[in-house]
Structure 1
């Protein structure tokens, strides 16, 4: 069996040594080089032709983001970013995902050696996923100037598409539920930036560790016409808002009188994940029923597939991202295999079809649960 060839790029000799050891302990992968900075890495990559690169976010001489941008333009290669659990680390990591990195691993600021050893399974799992991932830049269609509440002069922010027409009479009963994992940060953005300000509420579970979802929500909020924030336990779920499950917490929806509320709680991982799509989608089936719309985006594994079938059985209308536009097709494939999906669509078409579906039902009479 051919081994996955990995190059490690990190300015820390300790981290290079630990990552090399973790990789070489696996029967299906091999560390073929470890570089202390992007200049050394450039020659090493040229000589070893790796299948996957692990890349430190912050390094001297040339930072990981600059190097990643050059790499994805000149020699596209699957990259797993190694990030520090800091606010700056989170912001830079999100930029790396925009540039085409497949995924990231968050290393602790202190106790790095023990921390990386504990993350060994996650690191090697993400290298395996990256080796099979479809590399792509998820470009947002550009049609006219950005029109939301992004900061002027935000050079990293792509312009949004022309304003989508209002949905008209809005039902506050409708809620959109999105599940995503590997590749999902950009895929979710592609859907949300196209939604009009009077969109129904959107609840999103994206597999992401603690410390990153707050920055991710803020980034989306700067780009979208709807408001986007990390969900808080007990808050009312409102139209025109999107709620991101906080890293390390499960999110679900509950009913409180005439209102929907977000429930954010710690617990045990479900399908190895916390937050888990299964938890969110099960609550959608139980609480929202026929007023739910489900979207399964790119991601590894099967988290949420069974619960999405429960949503369909309860009357929801469900979409899945197609294989060609996924970074990893696992979660959509499993949802389709469970008979949970009504329409399988390229990523760029999902928001439009969602809006069409909402328009077709927005005037219908809907009873409160």
Structure 2
């Protein structure tokens, strides 16, 4: 019985198709069933052999990738990894694709694509494997997990332990901390667009490549009553504002007297991520304690689970997204397993629960 992940590559560049195909077949658990030049060819091939994962370019002749993605998600949702240029126009289209249901992004430069993809082979393989686990019940659980590389904990960026008792009593201002990964762009949009401008300050880690976080924040800002922006070092966490950790850097909550601020720092990957949810959540446990609300939503792996447990143990109210609405139940599941979660809710009930907890 063939239990390999079946992948279809859709890209108008013959070089990209060849390099991604050669990269993926290095993994014995992956099979490339087709590599085609545009979505029309893809739809013909899919009539006879449906892939588990599609690696999709955005800008293509005859039909662009975004149109194809929307058609796919409306007719037969299938995990899609976007293979997109970092150019501004491509980044905007990629953000639209994530909003439409794509589960991961591989960024590629305009020039030197062949060398870039060859150098990033492990990242390409991991993106496909992660995507294949999305909606695992629909995929029949056929995917074999890759052996994870060694990973660092939040200790690599911030020490554990609560903040000083004197500092904790200087303010009763609430803050909300949210962590999410695969499927999180849609989940965050669903939550943040339902919160009013009077909501407590919010800090967010969404696993996302550099440059995409700024565009993601801009998109949410255009949709929300809240002010949403990519965080900068020293930004204040104030009611009505959402700060999203910039891709490629860690974000920590800090205190300046009675005011909350954020610190944006470099550092090693934590749980194979930068920014890391665990780093943010630990800092919230340390400097906000019981004044914080912690939320962990859809995502692959376990980043954030231990940090949420630290928030819980420091007196914070904690929430996890229910499996029924998660694209991937990995992060919430691990947090629940650790006893880090007070309340498990489907996505549409999280905004109301946060507002009620703030009133309480």
TM-score, length of structure 1 as denominator length: 0.86
What is the deviation of 1:357? Answer: 1.0
State yes or no: 1:123 paired with 2:144.
no
Post-superposition offset of 1:112 = 1.1
Cα distance in 1 for residues equivalent to 2:252 and 2:334? 21
- 1:1-369 equivalence runs, <5 A: 2-134=3-135, 173-360=173-360
The answer as to whether partners of 1:172 and 1:238 remain within 8 angstroms in 2 is no
Q: Partners in 1 of 2:43 and 2:98 — Cα distance?
A: 20
**Is the contact between residue 231 and residue 246 of structure 1 (CA under 8 Å) also seen in structure 2?**
yes
Quick check: 1:87–1:212 contact (8 Å CA) kept in 2?
no
Asked if the contact 1:198/1:240 (under 8 Å) is kept, the reply is: yes
> 1:172: Cα distance to partner?
6.5
Partner SS state of residue 63, structure 2: coil
For residues 300-341 of structure 1, what are the alpha-carbon distances to aligned partners after superposition, in whole Å with 9 as ceiling and x for unaligned?
Answer: 001111111111111100000011100000000111111110
Tell me the secondary structure at the aligned position of residue 324 of structure 1. Answer: coil
**Partner deviation per Cα, 1:46-88 (whole Å, 9 max, x = no partner):** 2222111111011112110111122222333221111111222
**Which secondary structure state, in structure 1, belongs to the residue aligned with residue 324 of structure 2?**
helix
Q: Does the 8 Å CA contact 1:172/1:239 hold for their aligned counterparts?
A: no
C-alpha separation between the residues in 2 aligned to 1:235 and 1:78?
36
Q: Deviations over 1:190-228 (max 9, x none)?
A: 111111111000000000010100100000000111100
**Deviation of the 1:127 alpha carbon:** 1.4
Over aligned residues, Cα RMSD in angstroms? Answer: 1.5
1:221 partner SS: helix
Aligned partner of residue 42 in structure 2, secondary structure: helix
**What is the total number of aligned residue pairs between the two structures?**
326
* Counterpart Cα distance in 1 of 2:120 and 2:198: 42
Aligned to 1:34, what secondary structure does the other structure show? Answer: strand
User: SS of 2:99's equivalent?
Assistant: helix
Residues 246-277 of structure 1 deviation map (CA, whole Å, 9 limit, x = unaligned): 00010001111221111011111111100000
Aligned mates of 2:270, 2:78 — CA distance in 1: 31
Distance 1:123 1:337 in 2: 30
Q: Is the 2:201–2:241 Cα contact (8 Å) retained in structure 1?
A: yes
Consecutive unaligned residues of structure 2, counting only runs of 5 or more, are 137-170
Q: Which whole-Å CA distance do the structure 1 matches of 2:112 and 2:28 have between them?
A: 27
In structure 2, what is the Cα distance between the partners aligned to 1:319 and 1:72?
Answer: 28
Matched position secondary structure for 1:229: strand
Q: Deviations over 1:10-57 (max 9, x none)?
A: 011110001101111111111011001112111112222211111101
User: In structure 2, what is the equivalent of residue 152 of structure 1?
Assistant: none
* Change beyond 3 A, Cα 1:258–1:75: closer
Separation of aligned partners in 2, 1:268 and 1:31: 33
SS of the residue corresponding to residue 53 of structure 1 reads strand
Contact 1:86 1:211 in 2 (8 A): no
Whole-angstrom CA distance in 2 between matches of 1:10 and 1:172: 53
Structure 1 unpaired stretches of 5+: 136-170, 361-369
Q: Is the 8 A contact 2:176 2:292 kept in 1?
A: yes
8 Å CA contact 1:87, 1:215 repeated in 2: no
